[in-house]
Every structure is written in structure tokens, then in C-alpha cells.
Amino acid sequence: MNSPAPFPPELRRTLETGLSGLALEPALASPLLAYLALLVRWNKTYNLTAVREPHEMVGKHLLDSLAMHSYLDAIAASGGALADLGTGAGLPGIPLAIVKPGLHVTLVESNGKKARFMRAAVRQLGLTRASVAESRIEALGLPGGFDAITARALATLPLIVELGGHLLRPGGRLLAMKGVYPHEEIAALPAGWTLLAAHPLRVPGLDAERHLIEIGRAS
């Protein structure tokens, strides 16, 4: 299904070590590197991401995206649905779809070039439970369709809720990936939304602060 990625052995070892550090199987390096190979190749023409060096992509794209994976275990186990908002080149949605095969992932992106890349990647990687929605977030006509929504480096928490809150079913959660703890954004959440939990994340090989912020409707 996946052709070997044209990367040096030390890059694979770095990824495998990082996966082990995140309590993921090192064997997942093969499909993740197949995705990375597609991203590197398309990035030369389509300018999908400002990070262009493959070793840097391992930490800043793959492992950073996967640092939140354990918080999707229950949703994936039940065959639930995640919408990745403003996903760009498929981050974190495609790496999460690779490591959580039970998860239904909708990759939401309005940029046509990036959506075209993701459709090719989903097809070539055989991600049968992942799909691409080429749409603005607020225009996505799937109200209440998701157990969780996520966003990585997209916007402030209040704006993410404003644009994508309609996509969550009752009891659903926004799982927002942030750097430093976003005190001001949490304080500015719109009425009816509240902080459920905040989890410090550790990304192997990255010396930077990371948090996963869980937001839900106030009871």
C-alpha cells in the first residue's frame, strides 16, 4: 500500500524513537514516512508548509501532531468522528488518522491546493476513514456531526468556537493544540462555552511548551 519513503535511516530512527516516547508503535513510522514523502514532494510545487526540511518536519509536524493522540482513544475505540479545522496540509488530522484507524477524520480546508494534496494523500495512503471537506469552517454543513473538533495553529479559542462550535454533537469537545497556556483566550470564551481540562503535552525532540485545551458547552 505504501511505497518506501526516500529518507535516510537516521530520520526513520528519529521518528521511531519519538513514537516510542509517545507510547505509539515504532512500526507506524512506515505509513507516517509515506505521508511525509508526499508532503515533501508536493511542497516543492504547492508551498503547503513553511517547514521544508524533512528532519524538521518529523518533530514540528508529525510528532507535534501526535502528541495529543491518547486523548482520542475513547472516540477512536467507538468509531467516532473528528473534524480537523483549517488543517492545511493535513496536520494533525492525517497523522492521527494513521495511528487511530478506528477514527473517522474529516479534514476541513478551504484552500484548493491544500485540499487537492490531501485528497491525493488520503487515497495513496489508503485512509478509508478519512475524507476531505474543501470548505470554510463556518460553511461546513454538518451540524452536530462530530464527537470532537481539533485545530492546530489556526486561531484563538473564541474564534475556533465561533466558527466550528456548530459541528459538535451534545457532549462533544474542542481539542485545541496550543503552545503556552492561553489564559486570555480561555477568559474570552463566549457565553455557553467553558474550559473542561488543560493537558501539558511533551513533544519528543522539541524544547517548546505545548498544551491541549479541552473546551465544551457549559452544562
Catalogue all structural domains in the chain, each as residue range(s) with its CATH number. Answer: 9-217 (3.40.50.150)
Asked if pLDDT for residue 5 goes beyond 70, the answer is: no
- For the stretch 137-196, pLDDT in tens is 999 999 999 999 999 878 999 999 999 999 999 999 999 999 999 999 999 999 999 999
Please provide the DSSP assignment of the chain as one string: --PPP---HHHHHHHHHHHHHTT--GGGHHHHHHHHHHHHHHHHHH---S---HHHHIIIIIIHHHTTGGGGHHHHHTT-EEEEET-TTTTTHHHHHHH-TT-EEEEE---HHHHHHHHHHHHHHT-TTEEEE-S-GGG---TT-EEEEEEESSS-HHHHHHHHGGGEEEEEEEEEEESS--HHHHHTPPTTEEEEEEEEE--TT--S-EEEEEEEE--
Residues in the chain: 219
Contact 163, 189 (CB under 8 A): no
| pLDDT tens by residue, 33-57 | 999 999 999 998 898 988 889 999 9
Residue 2: is its pLDDT beyond 80?
Answer: no
Q: What is the DSSP pairing of strand 193-201 with strand 210-217?
A: antiparallel
Residue 40 CA: distances (Å) to CA of 32, 52, 82, 196, 211: 12, 7, 25, 37, 27
Q: In the predicted model, is pLDDT for residue 207 greater than 50?
A: yes
Residues 202 and 99: their CA atoms lie apart, in Å, by: 18
CA–CA–CA angle 153, 154, 160 (5° rounding): 130
Per-residue pLDDT of 155-171, as tens digits, reads 999 999 999 999 999 99
Look at residue 1 and tell me whether its pLDDT is greater than 50.
Answer: no
For 93-139, how does the pLDDT look when each residue is reduced to its tens digit (9 = 90+)? Answer: 999 999 999 999 999 999 999 999 999 999 999 999 999 999 999 99
pTM above the 0.75 mark? yes
Q: What is the pLDDT of residues 55-94, one digit of tens each?
A: 999 999 999 999 999 999 999 999 999 999 999 999 999 9
Give the whole-angstrom CA distance, residue 2 versus residue 38: 11
